[in-house]
Structures are given as C-alpha cells and as structure tokens.
Amino acid sequence: MKKAILTLIISCLGLHLIYSQEVDSIKLFLQKIEESFDYKTGNIELAEGNGSLTVPEGFRYLGKDQSIYVLTDLWGNPEDTTILGMLVPMNHSVLEADGWAFIISYEDLGYVKDDDASDIDYNELLEEMQKEVKEANVERVKQGYESVRLVGWASPPHYDTSLHTLHWAKELAFGEEEPHTLNYNLRLLGRKGIYNLNAVASMTNLSEVQINLNKIIRCVSYNDGYTYADFDSKTDNIAAWTIGGLVAGKLLAKTGFFVMLAKFWKVIILAFAAFFGGIRKFFKKDEPTNEQPVSEEIVEHKGEADEENS
C-alpha cells in the first residue's frame, strides 16, 4: 500500500513538474507573439477612405497584416482583408482574456443620407436584426463556427448630427460562453463612404469602452475635400444605405459579421494543447512523433495572417 502511495506521489510530482514547464513554455510563446507586434503611435495615413488617424492617448495602433493575424489566427475569425488596422489600449494586450481593441475598416458606400436618423424605431429594428442573426447561424454552423445570439442593445443607437457619427453596441452570446461578447460599433460618415470602428470586447469591458468613446470618435478624420460637408449632389454617388440600414447591418452579408465577434479562444486552445502535448510525450517518449511544438508554430506565424482559418 505504501509503495502504491509513493508511486502515486512520484507520478503527481512528475506531472507537476511537467505542468510548470509547460506553463513557462506557454508564457514564453505568448511573450514572443506580443514582442513581434509593431505598434505605432502618432499620425497614421489610412490606406483607404482618404482619411488619417491620430492615435489617441492611451492607445497604440497595429497595422493591417498583424491586425488580420490577431483577428484570424489568435481570435479565431474568418479572414477579412478589408481590415485597415486596430487600436489597442495601452493597458491591455490582445493576448489577454480581458483584452479588447477597436478594429478599423472602410466601406466605399457613397454618401450616406442621414435624414432618417430621428425617425427610426430602434426596438423594432432590433427584433429584425435578431431574426436575421438567427437565420445566419445556419451558414455559420456549416462553416464550423458557433451559433450566435443577439441578446440586445448594450447601448442603443445614437447619431450625432454635428459630427456625422453613428454609434451603438450589441450584446452577443456565443453558445454557452460567458461573459457575453460586446461589439461597440462606430460609423464615421464621409463624402465617399464610411469608416467603421468596431470594438471587439466582452460585456465586462463595456464601461471601459464607453469611457474612451469620445476620443475614439474624434481620432479619425477625412482629408480636405472628402468630409461629409464636401458632398456634391451633381457628381457624388448617394449610398443605398441610410442610417437605419447601417445599424441593421450591411455586414451581415459579409465575413465582417464574423470579424466583429469572437476573440481569444484559439490561443487558450493552443496553450492547453501545449500542456497536454507535453504530458503525452512524457508517457510516450519512445514513440515517434511528427508534431511541431506549439511555440514554434506560433512564432512561425509572427504576425502574418495564416490562410488556414482553423
């Protein structure tokens, strides 16, 4: 009996050592990913939309390629090459469970008329959106993603007539996941189209996102000749989408609908894969293996978007 207990204790000590080593390995490869990011501050010329970004205080900017890598490889979303970059809070990492960021993109929609902004019944619109999201789950599940439920407004839609900005927030539930996901949506209207700034976060980040909302709204500006006030009815195209249409979500028809959603789960899965892979190798030392260490796999990506969206 004593021998059996001793054997169990030794085994547990061995597993503890393996666990400690794997935790250190996980911390190391996460640190290497974070160190590979080329964050910028100051003024950023945006590649599309004839606009620029002044990185607000308390944030840093991550460029297009590395932003796609974060969204696709680390946060588990389908690849969306329309992404221009992302704003990450200084006090958070994209690798943290409570990390969050504003994703930046541009849509060349034309001039969006705002004369319907005060006439919209947003509660009725919410019901329509909930129905559309439910119907979209059929395709999501086919593509191997969790079904999602639009719980309701985390912050109801608001349109600022002086700044020509629209913002609202949705609470989303993925399967049984807790806490729920927060998508805070900003639309900055211009002469030729709109800049989209979407905060991908959890509901626990709601107050933090709202505190930073005013500075985020003002961080993107259109170049002279491309502002909302520069619209020329004789030459410019008028968008098919109104304010109500933007809230209802043109993105529902695009992969952008997925990009607004899940985050971080893949990093956790890879971390546990590293841990259990270490245990498996401990008990099967003599068996040949073709597995590549997770740390090497992660470092290999280094901020490049992997075409394999598993």
Question: In this predicted structure, what is the pLDDT of residue 22?
Answer: 57
pTM of the model: 0.75
Most confident of 6-15, 75-84, 232-241: 232-241
CA distances from 174 to 83, 132, 179, 251, 252 (A): 23, 16, 9, 18, 16
pLDDT digits (tens, 9 = 90+) for 157-210: 999 999 999 999 999 888 777 888 898 999 999 999 999 999 988 899 999 999
Q: At what angle do helices 265-283 and 294-301 cross, to 10 degrees?
A: 150
pLDDT digits (tens, 9 = 90+) for 272-297: 455 445 444 444 444 444 444 444 44
pLDDT digits (tens, 9 = 90+) for 242-278: 898 888 874 444 333 443 445 554 455 455 455 445 4
In the three-class reduction of DSSP (H, G, I as helix; E, B as strand; rest coil), residue 305 is classed as: coil
Q: Which has the closest alpha carbon to 97: 293, 271, 213?
A: 271
22 with 275: CB under 8 angstroms?
yes
Residue with tokens 């994703």: 103
pLDDT class for 77, splitting at 50, 70, 90?
Answer: confident
Separation of alpha carbons 310 and 306, rounded Å: 9
In the predicted model, is pLDDT for residue 70 greater than 50? yes
Separation of alpha carbons 171 and 152, rounded Å: 6
CA distances from 124 to 115, 247, 248 (A): 19, 12, 11
Question: In this predicted structure, what is the pLDDT of residue 301?
Answer: 44
> What domains sit in the chain, N to C, each tagged with a CATH number?
2-36+276-301 (no CATH), 43-263 (3.40.1000)
Separation of alpha carbons 195 and 298, rounded Å: 31
150 with 172: CB under 8 angstroms?
yes
